[in-house]
């Protein structure tokens, strides 16, 4: 079996290449695969039916089986487990036989020029393989995989004509309905497998009776119902029947195979597979019989309304599927025998009829019974083939359909008149007869519609049919006759399956009698024969009264329209999805943050309230060691509230700075000089960066989020703040262990060789942390540079010597303000009179931008600051300071140079690129990490080296200082990147904008100029900053 | 464990003000809010160090408990510098937004709004399809008329 599957799927894989060579005749090659498998199947007869002859006597009453397994995922107990038993063998006959014939038929149905034939052929063959796998799989999950494979392939095959909307839509519809059912079934299969402790179907069936009545009964019931949902959707039972007529958008061979012989039988197969064990389940019979009879009647009724012969067959198939489900699911040996007999008969006649419809469509170009006329005259052979199949469908002797239906009637007469099943058994019998009458009527309607010569309708033009085209349906019809005349072989194939029910039905009084039934053409004058006669009579009446029937049908509204219900469901789902998306995906950052923050405070607050713990001890309002904290606290609070209320941009920035400096004070008062130092430096640099970056933005800060949102914001803000206070109090109150840092001072001194515990913690004890941090700094610096420069990091700036004097930031025109003119003239005079420049690039600035005092002060303090920064770096190990503080001091020194002398001055002060500094810093720090490794130590291990230098005396050098140097370089690089980007580069953007203006204000009032520039730019065209900024 | 309420109350005020600001539309205010949140968090970490104490500069004769806890200090130092980097990055974004779009506002995502207004009619699902009664609508008839015989 595994070989058959492997060969089939391999052939499907290479099919497109075969088609490229042989075009449509490649279908013959493909057909050879299932045909070969069919022969193999026949050769297995002796193993499935050990010791039997063809007429079915002797041998094992329940038949034999073949098992094959291949391990797949042992941990999940999942394996390729296949088992060919009687049921699988009979199903395989149908699947492989009809599959081969349909492929043969395809070779004449399609044209060489049809698009994607290769893909189509591959899918059809793969479908045959998947179907074979489905019926032979012995593992629940394996079976499910093949089940879904057939669903997906069916989707592809129905949607073959992908340019047609109807094909796409019905393919999707079939997919949705069957996968929805498949999903339910998967859940059911897993419940069943877990309850049973095994996923082997044969093992589960062997002990099914204990699951139905034993412990875990509820779970098994749920599993059975879920699995039946899968079967119901796949076999198009009410209320999911609508997808099958929709799927008629598929090419007719596909309909013949998938929607008549194979795929829709998968649901029947599941029912047949489970019936021997699970039909005793309390939900089984109501579901299977109720939906079965309803489907049979709805399908037959709707079939009589169709004018497309393919749709007549489609609704007929729906009807027959309901019929089959009912019979197969009854769970009695006689019904099981009749069910499989009917399954085979249906496969033969319905596939043949679909193929005939395909031929009619192919030769005449229509399937509409109002247009078809005189086809019988055009092709009698076709009419005979169709007639045999349709007669079999109607149940006319001596054909397969008659034999099967006779045994069904017999089983249901037996069941319906039995005492155990009153009154539903009789209702079912009546439904069955009504359904059969409808079947007779639509069979007649089909033959009449397809072949009759209708008065007043022009004779349909009809091409002659090649024998090879007709071969496949003809073979099927011949088989229908043979089966009808000589049902013994079929009977002998099915008897072992029916025998499996005997044990289950033992307690039934009529079981022994029922088990004795056989398929036969002539049973004598039985009640079943009487019902058949009634059926024929009523069917004939309905056919002759067809005009009356259709008028009556026209007057009754369609009270079951599954298609419309499906569309409404899908439409409603779409609407719900859009509604939910619209409510949650608002596209507003404010909304998202509000939701996140509300959850962030509401959940801990609720937990605190619910826990209702007393406040922990140790609370104090004022630190006795440091009462001055209150002053710092007041400053911070005032600053923060003012920042919130400020409506001028720089006022708000300043107020935030106030809180920052207040925090620095707080650090100092708490006993953290390093933090205080660093915080002061950072606040200063940030303030400068803010001014530099925001000089182009308007000075006003408009409060756009006003109104009701303001209240919400206040509530969220206050609630969050309060929550944080209480969370902090409780969290710290919950602390019981000694702080780990109690040992830090000793560790720092003995292991790290330094007195400043914080610094040693940074560069030694927690060096990994710091290394991560400086990496972040490098990334952020690169981010700033790339946001402003877009293309490069700004190394291209020229040396000061190349820049003409007084050109940077020069006003292009002087305004009418006379006082401004006068001061400008004065400044120019001073600038011109200076002979000895205080700064290297001071002369490059426009005179009106220069400040002599600033230049002098800069000249005086720059070098001192740099020296001090190095001191901070080196002394940091023992005194407050370190790489961070040192780097920031150096950055501040550079900031001063930039502010005093402009961007060329910055270039002169730091001729090295910021990227180079960042890279060198990271490399240095990394080296401090891995060099000890090379020397046999650990990563970031510190060594203390003592030596003597003349003049300095004894020196104690700690290697972690090297790491700190790396930190220093990275921080300087970051500061330089910020200055170059937010300072120098934005300067340049400005000058470009300003030079394009008639009335500029120069660089002395950058904000104002930028605002004007902005307004002009938006008014005319979005000018140079944009043009420059975008690559 | 001792808990300094002054620090925590200041922290609460900073959190409240910071949250209020980041719920604002103006990008500048959002950035200021973030800075306040960073300061608030630093204070929270600082408060875990307990009472104010000596600066953690090692002296053999000092009991480790007399220092202010050095571990939170090291964490805060890291945090201060990272906040600087993040602030600089945000400033870059603010400048860039202004240069490109002349806006200092956080814009709503128009695409999200558009999705929310998707009409429930979808041509692929809902348009009316004409009844098709043949896979070979035109060709077969014309060919049959032309050839009148087998292919």
Residues for chain A: how many in total? 1031
Q: Write the pLDDT tens digit of every residue in A126-160.
A: 999 999 999 999 999 999 999 999 999 999 999 99
Lowest-confidence pick of A220-224, A471-475, B69-73, B112-116: B112-116
Selected residue of B134, B142, B143 to mutate for chain A interface (largest A Cβ count, 10 A):
B134
Check residue A1024 and give its pLDDT: 38
Radius of gyration of chain A (CA): 45
The reply to whether residue A716 touches residue B19, judged by beta carbons under 8 angstroms, is yes
Check residue A1016 and give its pLDDT: 42
> Band of the pLDDT at A360, cuts 50, 70, 90?
very high
First and final CA of chain B: distance in angstroms?
Answer: 98
Question: Above 50 in pLDDT, residue A1008?
Answer: no
Write the Ramachandran bin of A817: left for phi over 0, alpha for psi from -120 to 50, otherwise beta: beta
> Band of the pLDDT at A796, cuts 50, 70, 90?
low
> Band of the pLDDT at B43, cuts 50, 70, 90?
very high
Helix (H) or strand (E) holding A472: helix A467-485
Q: Write the pLDDT tens digit of every residue in A194-208.
A: 888 889 999 998 888
Question: Above 50 in pLDDT, residue A13?
Answer: yes
Determine the average pLDDT of the residues in A998-1021.
Answer: 42
> Band of the pLDDT at A815, cuts 50, 70, 90?
low
Question: Above 90 in pLDDT, residue B52?
Answer: no
Chain A positions in Cβ-Cβ contact with residue B27 (cut-off 8 Å) = none
Chain B positions in Cβ-Cβ contact with residue A697 (cut-off 8 Å) = 28, 94, 98, 104
> Band of the pLDDT at A1006, cuts 50, 70, 90?
very low
Residues in contact with A210: Cβ distance below 8 Å, sequence separation at least 6, in sequence order: none
Under 8 Å CB pairs connecting chains A and B tally to 429
Chain A positions in Cβ-Cβ contact with residue B29 (cut-off 8 Å) = 652, 701
DSSP, collapsed to helix, strand or coil, labels residue A423 as coil
ipTM of the complex, rounded to two decimals: 0.84
Q: Does A359 contact B at CB distance below 8 Å?
A: no
Q: Does A720 contact B at CB distance below 8 Å?
A: yes
The reply to whether residue B36 touches residue A1014, judged by beta carbons under 8 angstroms, is no
Cα of B62 to nearest chain A Cα, Å: 10
> Band of the pLDDT at A1001, cuts 50, 70, 90?
very low
How many C-beta neighbours within 10 Å does residue A218 have?
9
Chain B positions in Cβ-Cβ contact with residue A588 (cut-off 8 Å) = 108-109
Cα of B34 to nearest chain A Cα, Å: 10
Chain B positions in Cβ-Cβ contact with residue A672 (cut-off 8 Å) = 46, 55-56, 68, 73, 76
Check residue A156 and give its pLDDT: 94
Question: Above 90 in pLDDT, residue A719?
Answer: yes
Check residue A506 and give its pLDDT: 47
- From chain A residues 20-79, the ones with a CB under 8 A of any chain B CB are none
Of the candidates A585, A643, A1022, the beta carbon closest to that of B112 is on A585
Cα of A373 to nearest chain B Cα, Å: 14
Determine the average pLDDT of the residues in A706-727.
Answer: 89
The reply to whether residue B1 touches residue A636, judged by beta carbons under 8 angstroms, is no
Cα of A908 to nearest chain B Cα, Å: 23
Of the candidates B47, B57, B120, the beta carbon closest to that of A879 is on B57
Determine the average pLDDT of the residues in A248-258.
Answer: 92
* Chain B, nearest residue to A166 by Cα: B129
The answer to whether A502 touches A510, Cβ cutoff 8 Å, is no
Question: Above 70 in pLDDT, residue B30?
Answer: yes
DSSP, collapsed to helix, strand or coil, labels residue B63 as coil
The reply to whether residue B120 touches residue A659, judged by beta carbons under 8 angstroms, is no
Check residue A138 and give its pLDDT: 93
- From chain A residues 419-438, the ones with a CB under 8 A of any chain B CB are none
Question: Above 50 in pLDDT, residue A1004?
Answer: no
Determine the average pLDDT of the residues in A79-100.
Answer: 93
Check residue B138 and give its pLDDT: 59
Question: Above 80 in pLDDT, residue A53?
Answer: no
> Band of the pLDDT at A55, cuts 50, 70, 90?
low
Question: Above 80 in pLDDT, residue A221?
Answer: yes
Burial group, residue A384, by CB count within 10 angstroms (0-12, 13-18, 19+): middle
Burial group, residue A9, by CB count within 10 angstroms (0-12, 13-18, 19+): middle
Of the candidates B16, B24, B132, the beta carbon closest to that of A166 is on B132
Q: Does A596 contact B at CB distance below 8 Å?
A: no
Closest among B106, B90, B116, B110 to A590, alpha carbons compared = B106
Determine the average pLDDT of the residues in B118-128.
Answer: 77
**In whole numbers, what is the pLDDT of chain A averaged over residues?**
86
Among A129-143, A560-574, A778-792, the range of highest mean pLDDT: A129-143
Name the percent of chain A lying above pLDDT 70: 89
Cα of B30 to nearest chain A Cα, Å: 10
Chain B positions in Cβ-Cβ contact with residue A982 (cut-off 8 Å) = 88, 91-92, 95
Chain A positions in Cβ-Cβ contact with residue B135 (cut-off 8 Å) = 161, 251-252, 361-362
Separation in Å, CA A229 to CA A125, A152, A233, A239, B3 = 27, 18, 6, 11, 63
Chain A positions in Cβ-Cβ contact with residue B81 (cut-off 8 Å) = 678, 682, 773, 777, 884, 888, 971
Compute, in degrees rounded to 10, the torsion defined by CA atoms A455, A458, A463, A467: 0
Chain A positions in Cβ-Cβ contact with residue B56 (cut-off 8 Å) = 671-672, 744-745, 756-758
The answer to whether B99 touches A989, Cβ cutoff 8 Å, is yes
Chain A positions in Cβ-Cβ contact with residue B22 (cut-off 8 Å) = 593
Cα of A918 to nearest chain B Cα, Å: 13
Instruction: In whole angstroms, give the CA distance from residue A127 to residue A188.
Output: 24
How many C-beta neighbours within 10 Å does residue A676 have?
22
The reply to whether residue A773 touches residue B44, judged by beta carbons under 8 angstroms, is no
The reply to whether residue B129 touches residue A169, judged by beta carbons under 8 angstroms, is yes
Determine the average pLDDT of the residues in B42-65.
Answer: 87
Check residue A1002 and give its pLDDT: 41
Check residue A534 and give its pLDDT: 92
The reply to whether residue B71 touches residue A637, judged by beta carbons under 8 angstroms, is no
Instruction: In whole angstroms, give the CA distance from residue A310 to residue A765.
Output: 82
The reply to whether residue B116 touches residue A986, judged by beta carbons under 8 angstroms, is no
Question: Above 70 in pLDDT, residue B144?
Answer: no
DSSP notation for A497-531? HHHTTTTTTTTSTTHHHHHT----S---S-HHHHH
Q: Write the pLDDT tens digit of every residue in A428-455.
A: 999 999 999 999 999 999 999 999 998 8
Selected residue of A159, A628, A745, A1020 to mutate for chain B interface (largest B Cβ count, 10 A):
A745
Check residue A351 and give its pLDDT: 94
Q: Write the pLDDT tens digit of every residue in A679-714.
A: 999 999 999 999 999 888 888 877 655 567 788 999
> Band of the pLDDT at A639, cuts 50, 70, 90?
very high
- From chain A residues 161-180, the ones with a CB under 8 A of any chain B CB are 161, 164-166, 168-169
Q: Does A941 contact B at CB distance below 8 Å?
A: no
Q: Write the pLDDT tens digit of every residue in A889-909.
A: 999 999 999 998 888 888 888
* Chain A, nearest residue to B126 by Cα: A567
Of the candidates B51, B81, B127, the beta carbon closest to that of A678 is on B81
The reply to whether residue A629 touches residue B129, judged by beta carbons under 8 angstroms, is no
DSSP, collapsed to helix, strand or coil, labels residue A734 as coil
The reply to whether residue A701 touches residue B106, judged by beta carbons under 8 angstroms, is no
Of the candidates B17, B49, B122, the beta carbon closest to that of A641 is on B17
> Band of the pLDDT at A1018, cuts 50, 70, 90?
very low
The reply to whether residue A587 touches residue B71, judged by beta carbons under 8 angstroms, is no
* Chain A, nearest residue to B8 by Cα: A725
The answer to whether A318 touches A236, Cβ cutoff 8 Å, is yes
In this prediction the pTM is 0.68
Residues in contact with B9: Cβ distance below 8 Å, sequence separation at least 6, in sequence order: A633, A725
- From chain A residues 948-987, the ones with a CB under 8 A of any chain B CB are 971, 974, 977-978, 981-982, 986
Q: Does A721 contact B at CB distance below 8 Å?
A: yes
Q: Write the pLDDT tens digit of every residue in A399-433.
A: 999 999 999 998 888 888 776 666 788 889 999 99
The reply to whether residue A590 touches residue B64, judged by beta carbons under 8 angstroms, is no
Selected residue of B2, B10, B145 to mutate for chain A interface (largest A Cβ count, 10 A):
B10
Check residue A297 and give its pLDDT: 93
* Chain B, nearest residue to A597 by Cα: B19
> Band of the pLDDT at A524, cuts 50, 70, 90?
confident
The reply to whether residue A659 touches residue B151, judged by beta carbons under 8 angstroms, is no
Name the percent of chain A lying above pLDDT 90: 49
Lowest-confidence pick of A456-460, A672-676, B15-19: A456-460
> Band of the pLDDT at A817, cuts 50, 70, 90?
low
Check residue A724 and give its pLDDT: 95
């Amino acid at each position: 079996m595994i070989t058959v599957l492997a060969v089939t799927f391999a052939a499907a894989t290479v099919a497109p290449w075969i088609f490229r060579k042989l075009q449509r005749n490649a279908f013959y090659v493909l057909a050879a695969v299932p045909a070969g498998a069919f022969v193999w199947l026949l050769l297995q007869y002796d193993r499935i039916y050990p010791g039997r002859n063809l007429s079915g006597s002797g041998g094992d009453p329940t038949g034999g089986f073949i098992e094959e397994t291949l391990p797949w995922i042992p941990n999940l107990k999942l394996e390729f487990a296949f088992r060919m038993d009687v049921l699988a063998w009979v199903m395989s006959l149908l699947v492989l036989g009809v599959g081969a014939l349909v492929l043969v038929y395809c070779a004449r149905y399609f044209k060489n020029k049809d698009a994607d034939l290769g893909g189509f052929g591959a899918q059809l063959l793969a479908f045959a393989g998947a179907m074979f796998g489905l019926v032979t799989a012995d593992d629940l999950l394996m079976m499910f995989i093949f089940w879904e494979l057939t669903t997906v392939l069916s989707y592809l095959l129905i949607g073959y004509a992908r340019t047609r909307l109807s094909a796409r839509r019905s393919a999707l519809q079939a997919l949705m309905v069957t996968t929805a059912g498949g999903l339910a079934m998967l859940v059911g299969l897993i419940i069943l497998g877990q309850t049973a402790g095994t996923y082997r179907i044969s093992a589960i069936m062997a002990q099914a009776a204990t699951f139905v009545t034993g412990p875990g009964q509820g779970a098994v019931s749920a599993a059975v119902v879920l699995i039946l949902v899968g079967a119901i959707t796949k076999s198009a039972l009410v209320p999911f029947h609508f997808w099958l007529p929709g799927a008629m958008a598929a090419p007719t061979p596909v309909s013949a195979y998938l929607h008549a012989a194979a795929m829709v039988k998968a649901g029947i197969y599941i029912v047949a597979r489970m019936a021997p064990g699970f039909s005793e389940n309390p939900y089984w019979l109501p579901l299977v019989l109720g939906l079965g009879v309803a489907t049979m009647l709805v399908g037959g009724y709707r079939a009589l309304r169709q004018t497309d012969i393919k749709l007549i067959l489609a609704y007929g198939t729906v009807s027959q599927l309901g019929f089959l489900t009912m019979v197969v699911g009854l769970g009695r040996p006689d019904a099981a025998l009749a069910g499989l007999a009917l399954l085979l008969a249906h496969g033969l006649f319905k596939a043949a009829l679909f193929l005939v419809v395909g031929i009619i469509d192919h030769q005449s170009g229509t399937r509409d019974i109002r247009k078809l006329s005189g086809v019988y005259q055009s092709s009698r052979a076709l009419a005979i083939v169709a007639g045999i199949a349709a007669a079999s469908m109607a149940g006319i002797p001596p054909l397969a359909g008659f034999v099967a239906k006779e045994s069904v009637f017999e089983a249901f007469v037996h069941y319906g008149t039995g005492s155990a099943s009153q009154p539903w058994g009789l209702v079912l019998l009546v439904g069955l007869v009504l359904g059969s009458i409808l079947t007779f009527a639509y069979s007649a309607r089909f033959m009449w519609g397809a072949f009759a010569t209708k008065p007043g309708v022009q004779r349909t033009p009809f091409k002659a049919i090649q024998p090879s085209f007709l071969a496949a349906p003809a073979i099927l019809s011949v088989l229908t006759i043979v089966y009808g005349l000589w049902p013994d072989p079929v009977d002998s194939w099915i008897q072992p399956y029916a025998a499996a029910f005997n044990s289950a039905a033992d307690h039934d009084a009529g079981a022994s009698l029922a088990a004795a039934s056989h398929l036969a053409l002539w049973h004598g004058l039985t009640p079943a024969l009487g019902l058949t006669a009634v059926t024929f009579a009523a069917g004939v009446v309905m056919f002759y009264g067809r005009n009356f029937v259709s008028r009556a049908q026209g007057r009754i509204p369609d009270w079951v329209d599954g298609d419309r219900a499906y569309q409404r469901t899908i439409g409603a789902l779409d609407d719900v999805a859009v509604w939910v998306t619209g409510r949650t995906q608002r596209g507003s950052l404010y909304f998202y943050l509000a939701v996140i923050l509300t959850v962030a405070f509401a959940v801990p607050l609720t937990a605190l309230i619910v826990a209702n713990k007393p406040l922990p001890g140790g609370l104090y309002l004022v630190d006795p060691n440091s009462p001055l904290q209150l002053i710092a606290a007041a400053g911070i609070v005032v600053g923060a509230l003012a920042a919130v209320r400020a409506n001028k941009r720089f006022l708000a920035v300043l107020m935030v700075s106030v809180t920052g400096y207040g925090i620095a004070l707080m650090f100092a008062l708490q006993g953290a000089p390093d933090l205080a130092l660093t915080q002061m430096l950072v606040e200063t640099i940030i303030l400068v960066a803010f001014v530099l970056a925001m000089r182009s933005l308007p000075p006003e800060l408009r409060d756009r989020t006003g109104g009701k949102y303001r209240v919400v914001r206040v509530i969220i803000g206050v609630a969050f703040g309060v929550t944080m206070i209480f969370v902090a109090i409780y969290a710290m109150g919950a602390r019981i262990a000694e702080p780990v840092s109690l040992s830090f001072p000793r560790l720092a001194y003995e292991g790290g060789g330094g007195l400043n515990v914080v610094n040693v913690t940074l560069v030694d004890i927690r060096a990994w942390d710091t290394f991560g941090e400086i990496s972040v700094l490098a990334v952020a610096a690169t981010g700033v540079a790339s946001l402003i420069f877009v293309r490069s990091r700004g190394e291209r700036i020229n040396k000061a010597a190349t820049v003409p004097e007084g050109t940077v930031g020069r006003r292009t025109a002087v305004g009418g303000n006379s006082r401004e003119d006068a001061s400008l003239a004065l400044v120019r005079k001073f600038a011109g009179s200076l002979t000895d420049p205080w700064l290297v690039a001071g002369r490059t600035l426009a005179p009106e931008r220069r400040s002599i005092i600033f230049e002098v002060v800069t000249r005086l303090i720059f070098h001192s600051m740099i020296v001090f920064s190095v001191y901070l770096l080196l002394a940091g190990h023992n005194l407050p300071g370190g790489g961070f503080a040192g780097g920031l001091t150096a950055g501040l020194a550079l900031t001063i140079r930039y502010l005093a002398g402009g961007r060329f001055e910055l270039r002169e002060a730091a001729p090295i690129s910021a990227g180079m500094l960042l890279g060198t810093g990271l490399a240095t720090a990394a080296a401090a990490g891995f060099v000890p490794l090379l020397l046999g130590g650990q990563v970031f291990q510190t060594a203390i080296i003592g030596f003597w230098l003349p003049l300095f005396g004894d020196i104690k050098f700690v290697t972690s200082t090297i790491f700190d140097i790396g930190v220093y370089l990275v921080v300087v690089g970051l500061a330089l990147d910020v200055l170059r980007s937010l300072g120098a580069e934005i300067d340049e953007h400005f000058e470009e904008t300003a030079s394009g203006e008639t009335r500029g204000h120069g660089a002395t009032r950058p904000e104002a100029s930028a605002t004007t520039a902005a307004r002009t730019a938006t008014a005319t065209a979005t000018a140079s900053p944009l043009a420059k900024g975008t690559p | 464990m001792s808990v300094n309420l002054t620090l925590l109350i200041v922290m609460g005020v900073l959190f409240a003000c910071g949250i209020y600001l980041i719920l604002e539309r103006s990008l500048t205010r959002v950035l200021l809010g973030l800075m306040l949140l960073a300061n608030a968090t630093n204070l929270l970490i600082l408060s875990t160090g307990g009472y104010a104490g000596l600066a953690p500069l090692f002296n053999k004769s000092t009991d480790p408990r007399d220092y202010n806890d050095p571990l939170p200090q090291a964490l805060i130092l890291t945090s201060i510098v990272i906040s600087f980097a993040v602030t600089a990055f945000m400033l870059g974004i603010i400048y860039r937004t202004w240069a490109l779009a002349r806006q200092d506002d956080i814009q709503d995502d128009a695409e999200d709004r558009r999705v929310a207004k998707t009409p429930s009619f979808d041509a692929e699902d809902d348009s009316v399809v004409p009844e098709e009664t043949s896979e070979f609508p035109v060709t077969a008839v014309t060919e049959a008329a032309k050839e009148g015989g087998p292919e």
